[in-house]
Amino acid sequence: MTDLLQRGVRKLQTFEPFREVNNTFPKTAEILAWKQQGKPVFGWLCTYIPEEIIHAAGALPVRITGYSQEMELEDGNAYLYIDNCSFSRSCLQLGLRGGYDYLDGFIAGSTCDGARRLFDLWCTYVKVPFSHILTVPRKMTERAHELYYHQIQEFKERFEKFLGFQIKDEALRHSIEVVNRSRELLKSLYEWRKLDNPPIFGAEVLEVLNASFRMPKERFNECLSNLLQELSTADVRHTGRSRLMIVGSVMNNHEFIRAIEEQGGLVVADELCTSTRYWSDPVVLGDDEDPVKALARRYLNNFPCARMYPSDERFNRIIALARDFRVEGVISEIIRYCVPYAHDLPLLTSRLKEEEIPTLALDVEYGTSGSGQIQTRVQAFLEMLEAKRK
Amino acid sequence: MTVNEIKGNKLAAVMKSARLLVRMNRAHADGRKSDTLYYQMLANYCERILKAKEEGRFFAAHSVFFPNEILYAMDIPSMHTEMTAWMTALFTGETADMLAAGAELGLASEICSAHRGLTGAYALGVLPRPDAILWSNLVCDNTAKCGELLMKINHCPGFFLERPFRNSDGEIQYLVAELKDMIGFLEEKSGHKMDWDKLSATVANMERQLEIYRDISELRKATPSPYHIQGFFQLLNTYYLFPGQPEAIEYLEAVRQELAEAVQAGKGAVPNERFRLMTLFIPPMYRMGFLEKLSQEFGAVSVTEPFFMHWGNGHLNPDRPLESIARHSYMIPEACSMYGPLTEESIKTITDSARDYKVHGAIYYANNGCRHTCATVKVFRDALSEIDVPMLTVDMDVVDPTFNSEDEMREKLQQFFELLEQR
Ligand code: SF4
Ligand code: SF4
């Protein structure tokens, strides 16, 4: 196991494209080439924004993320203040320093204070030709679906006006198929993690997911198909001391998971908006159905974020995941000033306790690589899980 | 969740203190009528909750900016979670225990102290246990997320009222439908029926209240400006606790009358007005006496608090009470400036206020953990700087006195006044 974990060493040949994209983001060769062809790129923030609409316009949807490592956030702090979540501060700083200067637009939702204010300050200080924020309901009722349908419809109309052409239903149907294909492939990738000895590490899965936000969907599907093909023939199998699941705030730095896996934790499942919550539910579209309606339903009903009400919907799905992936312990990571996840923690911990699944709660900064004190706490957690098993 | 109930209900102490203040005020030759009326309202508020508890009658707790006019119209005693918790802390000194109890429940420091502490207060039994928890997503994630844990601690049902983010007709209709559902929930749980005539009358009174707030704001434009800093809290609390209530109107009319007389007499809140200030967000409530003293010493008077007092031009229609309540939620100054969306209009509100009130400087009380508000510190500083109004940012915690000391605050404010003096 250890030799596989050595930084930079990969046995899976098909992994390289993902790594390449992540190592060069936000200025990846593919995004720059896309722009050079005169095609637009739109940033989206938060998993409640339907990428399909951007894709159907022939534009490249790119997920807004911050720096991939923990760092000083002087600009982020100065603009968003120190008490906004470190994710939004990191994103804003990257934006202020020109990381996303290729964007033709920025689309966000009213998902949480951090995201809303990131959108506000982006529009005020980074500035983009097109910007839009959708009201995202917190409930999943029929009424909320209706509201969200109108929100997406309104966004689409404004977007079309900006682009100067209409997005045809056929184009939207095609985009739904393409993005659904990504979801299907990601589901297959996760199936591998259910094995006693999975052929892929949790850290690697996060790398794949990060790449999925940052490259054309068609190309991503092709790369992931290749990886899945290779996984089915590779003789790599990983072992670990305990099967773990990561839950909580947004995460992009796979080094955090790697640090846990280096200590022998086998991260087999995750409930993050950059992981399972991103891909878990497909868009179900009937033959005669309005594709925008189908999108509204999928995006609101998808595996809920901590912002949604009631929280039990999220907790139930976490527990189902834990059972499905035979998880022995849960690591909750909450990034600094991420209120929605921090608020859920007492209730989630008590639900997991009822299931006899211990939780380790870590307060981290966005981008953390999980070193130092975190390692000590993970080590103690793993020992506790081992003792529990005996 | 391990906090055991270790305290008795402290609301009676708040009621007694408020009554004492009424008596003291009446006995004082210079006592203001408005102060007497204000403390009388507070005492009655606490008494109503305590009585309901004692008699086993249904009462509900609700979060900040929750439309509790609905509860008044249904004759359901209401308890404002934030204000009741923090008034109790102020009057009885339970702050540290409340915050510690919140932390013990597993609420991390990510969560603003106002919410950590109020949740702790319920866990400790400092506040009486309500029969229902009502909350909405106004004005932040903390309020949006507080309800479920409070339900669990209080072993009671609850209703989450979703207030959509942007202000469109579809969103107003969504909120109206939510309000209807909530009324249904309350009717079922409490056995009380909605009195629609009373609701219309309450909305009519809210409209009157808004007019008086606007008049009061207008009077504060005078030089010297007649209103003292503590008054701001009273106005705020009156709006939070008594929307559309006759006693609130009586109180507000008294304030208006007193201010009109002061303006007429050319009498300011401080003897020698030197600095006219704009206050952004809420000053630390446990330091009001200290701030009042500073204000007198330096001749510095807060003339406007646009996050809370800028009521715009909207009107309410008593014939369409639910729609009016929904529209009102988009008129709330905090909902526009602190919550968002941040628009050119909301920035202009601040700069226009600075001009209209002829302010020399602004003080932004940056409340630790109030994320969406603090995110506007730079935006408003930049906007004010464009019209040559300097802004001081004071880092503080609105309820936790251990965050910074009086000395630190004094030094910062003094330096700011010196800077203003030199200009
Ligand atoms: S969910 Fe948390 S981490 Fe994500 S944007 Fe919101 S506050 Fe920040
Ligand atoms: S202090 Fe700020 S974060 Fe806390 S409840 Fe009030 S508005 Fe919300």
pLDDT tens for A202-222 read 999 999 999 999 999 999 999
What are the pLDDT digits (tens) for B42-87?
999 999 999 999 999 999 999 999 999 999 999 999 999 999 999 9
A143 CA distance to ligand 2 centroid (A)? 28
> Where are the domains positioned within chain B?
10-194, 197-422
What are the pLDDT digits (tens) for B340-372?
899 999 999 999 999 999 999 999 999 999 999
pLDDT computed for residue A348 by the predictor = 98
Does the pLDDT of residue B3 top 80, yes or no?
no
Cα distances (angstroms) measured from residue B296 to each of A278, B215, B268 = 57, 25, 11
Please say whether the beta carbons of B278 and B390 come within 8 A.
no
CB contact under 8 A, A138 and B137: yes
pLDDT computed for residue B1 by the predictor = 60
What are the pLDDT digits (tens) for B314-332?
999 999 999 999 999 999 9
Rg of chain B taking only CA atoms, in angstroms? 21
CB contact under 8 A, A83 and B171: no
Does the pLDDT of residue B253 top 50, yes or no?
yes
Chain A residue with CA closest to B163: the answer is A137
B6 and A CB contact within 8 Å: no
Sequential DSSP letters for B184-226? HHHHHHH-PPP-HHHHHHHHHHHHHHHHHHHHHHHHTTSSS--
Question: Which residue of B118, B136, B137, B165 is the best one to mutate when testing the A interface, meaning the one whose CB has the most A CBs within 10 A?
Answer: B165
Strand-pair partners of B391: B362
B2 confidence band (pLDDT: 50, 70, 90): low
Does the pLDDT of residue A2 top 50, yes or no?
no
What are the pLDDT digits (tens) for A231-240?
998 888 899 9
A9 confidence band (pLDDT: 50, 70, 90): very low
CB contact under 8 A, A350 and B142: no
Kindly give the pairing relationship between strand A105-109 and strand A41-44.
parallel
B340 and A CB contact within 8 Å: yes
Q: Which residue among B82, B115, B334 is best mutated to probe the pocket of ligand 2, counting the most ligand atoms within 8 A of its Cβ?
A: B115
What domains are defined for chain A?
Answer: 26-170 (3.40.50.11890)
What are the pLDDT digits (tens) for B267-277?
999 999 999 99
Topology (CATH level 3) of domain B197-422: Rossmann fold (3.40.50)
- Measured between alpha carbons, how far is A278 from A284 in angstroms, rounded to an integer? 16
CA A328 to chain centre: 23
CB contact under 8 A, A81 and B106: no
A390 confidence band (pLDDT: 50, 70, 90): confident
- Measured between alpha carbons, how far is B218 from B226 in angstroms, rounded to an integer? 11
B10-194 and B197-422 in the same fold: yes
In this structure, whether the domain defined by B10-194 belongs to CATH 3.20.20.70 is answered with no
- Measured between alpha carbons, how far is A244 from A358 in angstroms, rounded to an integer? 10
Within chain A, how many helices (H) and strands (E) appear?
A: 17, 8
Q: Which of residues 22-81 of A touch B (CB under 8 A)?
A: 78-81
Does the pLDDT of residue A175 top 50, yes or no?
yes
Phi, psi of B408 (to 5 degrees): -60, -45
pLDDT computed for residue B247 by the predictor = 98
Average pLDDT over residues A363-370: 95
Q: Whose CA is nearest to atom 2 of ligand 1?
A: A338
Q: Which of residues 72-111 of A touch B (CB under 8 A)?
A: 78-85, 110
Average pLDDT over residues B376-385: 98
What are the pLDDT digits (tens) for A304-350?
999 999 999 999 999 999 999 999 999 999 999 999 999 999 999 99
* Max avg pLDDT among A4-18, A158-172, B101-115, B337-351: A158-172
Instruction: Provide residues with CB under 6 Å of ligand 1.
Output: A 85, 87-88, 112, 114-115, 249-250, 335, 338-341
User: Collapsing DSSP states into helix, strand and coil, what is residue A329?
Assistant: strand
Does the pLDDT of residue A7 top 70, yes or no?
no
CB contact under 8 A, B372 and A334: no
Does the pLDDT of residue A26 top 90, yes or no?
yes
**Terminal-to-terminal C-alpha distance of chain B:** 55
- Number of Cβ within a 10 Å radius of residue B169: 8
- What is the interface pTM, i.e. ipTM, of the complex? 0.96
Q: How far is B345 from chain A (nearest CA, A)?
A: 13
